[in-house]
């Protein structure tokens, strides 16, 4: 089964970035992933939330389920109740003058927004980037990778 899925992924998906893992992941829990061939691997790679709280953390799964039952996707001009509450909580714990939040879906989007905000605040337009870095697939983020 794993070989067939791996072939399918190679033939049907566009991959970007540098390193890629050749096996298909069937599940992830805590700090481990399990491949479709049944191989259990300690995951040191997932820099997103997984590195700090583990894959499929029960609190995150619960929050996703709750969001799916209320308002999982809206037109970007609409704000769901959960987002307004989260922004309020974040403001409560942040120091002044950090009072506003922007919620995004990916690292590419986050880096893109950070670049735009830095340019607005500084009035500059040039960005220094280190070789071998990866900031995302979007135009701005990719340009500093």
* pLDDT, tens only, 33-86: 999 999 999 887 766 556 678 888 899 899 889 888 998 778 878 888 888 999
Report whether pLDDT(18) > 70.
no
Percent of the chain with pLDDT over 70: 92
Average pLDDT over residues 127-136: 77
Average pLDDT over residues 109-119: 90
Instruction: Look at residue 46 in the predicted model and tell me its pLDDT.
Output: 60
Nearest one of 116, 108, 115, 118 to 142, comparing CA atoms: 108
Instruction: Look at residue 50 in the predicted model and tell me its pLDDT.
Output: 64
Report whether pLDDT(20) > 80.
no
Q: Which helix (H) or strand (E) holds 115?
A: helix 107-122
Average pLDDT over residues 97-103: 91
Tell me the three state secondary structure of residue 51: helix
Report whether pLDDT(29) > 60.
yes
What confidence tier does 95 reach under pLDDT thresholds 50, 70, 90? very high
Round to whole Å and give the CA distance between 42 and 92: 36
Q: Label residue 6 exposed, middle or buried (CB < 10 Å: 0-12, 13-18, 19+).
A: middle
């Amino acid at each position: 089964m794993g070989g067939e899925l791996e072939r399918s992924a190679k033939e049907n998906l566009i991959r970007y970035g540098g390193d890629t893992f050749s096996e298909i992941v069937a599940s992830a829990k805590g700090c481990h992933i399990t491949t479709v061939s049944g191989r259990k691997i300690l995951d040191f790679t997932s820099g997103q939330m997984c590195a700090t709280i583990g894959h499929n953390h029960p609190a995150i799964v619960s929050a996703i389920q709750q969001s799916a039952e209320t308002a999982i996707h809206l037109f970007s001009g609409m704000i769901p109740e959960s987002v307004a509450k989260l922004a309020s909580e974040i403001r409560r714990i942040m120091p002044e003058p950090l009072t506003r939040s922007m919620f995004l879906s990916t690292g590419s989007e986050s880096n893109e927004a950070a670049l735009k905000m830095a340019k607005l605040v500084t009035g500059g337009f040039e960005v220094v980037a280190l070789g071998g870095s990866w900031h995302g697939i979007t135009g701005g983020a990719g340009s500093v990778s």
